[in-house]
Amino acid sequence: MIKVSSVFLRIIPFFLLLLTGLQAQQSKKIIIDADTGNEVDDLYALARIFLEPSIEVTALSAAHWQTSHWSEPKSMENSHRLNQQLLGEIGLEVKTLRGAPARMYDWGDRAQHSAAAYEMIRQADENETLTILVLGALTNAASAVYIKPEIAKKLQIYWLGTTIDFDSGVLKRNDFNSLMDPYALDYLLDSEVEMHIMPTNVAVAMEIGFDELESNIGKHFLGAYLMKRWKNHLDGARRNRVLWDLALVTAYIHPEVASTKTITTSKDSGNRPITFYDSIKAKAIYGDFYKTLLAFELE
């Protein structure tokens, strides 16, 4: 018979509790804000980050794309519905929140007071730092800072948008995400928010063909769901797409698939250091996506 001392038995729960605490600390907690109803790429990016064990998504908020010429009457609601639908496909429970129905206002209280904005404020108040991955318009995050400016210094925002000439440092705002809420972008550039930007002229390297993507993931149940989104989209007949947002989320998960450059922006763009992604390894990003998705099985 093996005798175990009572002291040892008392120590075991302590070490188990310590191990659990260390595992919790290792998990990065983030909020994701996505205009999922707008394009095809959001669902692919969301699927990738939801399947990442090192990250805990504490909230998923819906962004509008109301300014677009091909917008639906309630674009944010469309994004909210697709967010919930994807979680159902994966079998996950994540807090989903409605964001602003349109861009920030032109005068007076310019903030859009939404559940998404107030969730960002709540989590910022409860933590030393808060990371938000924004895949569309910056309306929800900018509104949160507008409502409570003191949270700005706590925020780390990773966003896909703008184009930049790395030689001249000229920053342009003629891309889709910027145009959905120009004021929100200017407001955050002028704030104390720590910003990490994936320019569209870098993310464009993520162009891929339908046949190549389907041959890699089409036989997986979640892959088939994602390919259905491609086919059923407004321009589903397209044979090639750029999965923009997948570049941003993968670069956040695996920094080694991208490189960054810190640039001090011009006076009309905040006049402060901003971290820009200046290159990505598209092949490695897709390889990581295939491996992660194909390994996923519903319990």
Task: Write the pLDDT tens digit of every residue in 273-290.
Answer: 999 999 999 999 999 999
- 46/177 Cα distance (integer angstroms): 17
Residue 94 CB neighbours (<10 A): 18
Residue 150 CB neighbours (<10 A): 11
Residue 237 neighbours by CB under 8 Å, 6+ apart: none
> In which element (H, E) is residue 171 found?
strand 171-172
Q: Please return the burial class of 237, using the count of CB atoms within 10 Å of its CB with bins 0-12, 13-18 and 19+.
A: exposed
- 225/156 Cα distance (integer angstroms): 31
DSSP string, 257-269: GEEEEEEEPPGGG
Task: Write the pLDDT tens digit of every residue in 65-110.
Answer: 999 998 989 999 999 999 999 999 999 999 999 999 999 999 999 9
**pLDDT reported for residue 18:** 43
pTM of full prediction above 0.85 = yes
- 235/284 Cα distance (integer angstroms): 27
Exposure string (b/e) for 41-69, b if CB count within 10 Å is 16 or more? bbbbbbbbbbbbeebebbbbbbbbbbbbe
Q: What's the per-residue H, E or C state across 174-199?
A: CCHHHHHCHHHHHHHHCCCCEEEEEC
- 26/178 Cα distance (integer angstroms): 33
Helices (H) and strands (E) in the chain, counts: 12, 12
**pLDDT reported for residue 10:** 52
Residue among 191, 182, 207, 98 nearest 145 (CA): 191
Read off the DSSP letter of residue 112: -
**pLDDT reported for residue 168:** 92
Domains of the chain (ranges, CATH numbers): 27-294 (3.90.245.10)
Amino acid sitting at position 38: N
Q: What is the dihedral of CA 246, 41, 26, 30, to 10 degrees?
A: 130
**pLDDT reported for residue 157:** 98
Residues of the chain with pLDDT under 50: 1-4, 6-9, 11-24
Dihedrals phi, psi of 50, to nearest 5 degrees: -70, -25
Map residue 226 onto helix, strand or coil: helix
Decide if 284 contacts 253 (C-beta within 8 A): no
Decide if 88 contacts 60 (C-beta within 8 A): no
As a residue count, the chain comes to 299
Q: Which residues lie across from 207 on neighbouring strands?
A: 242
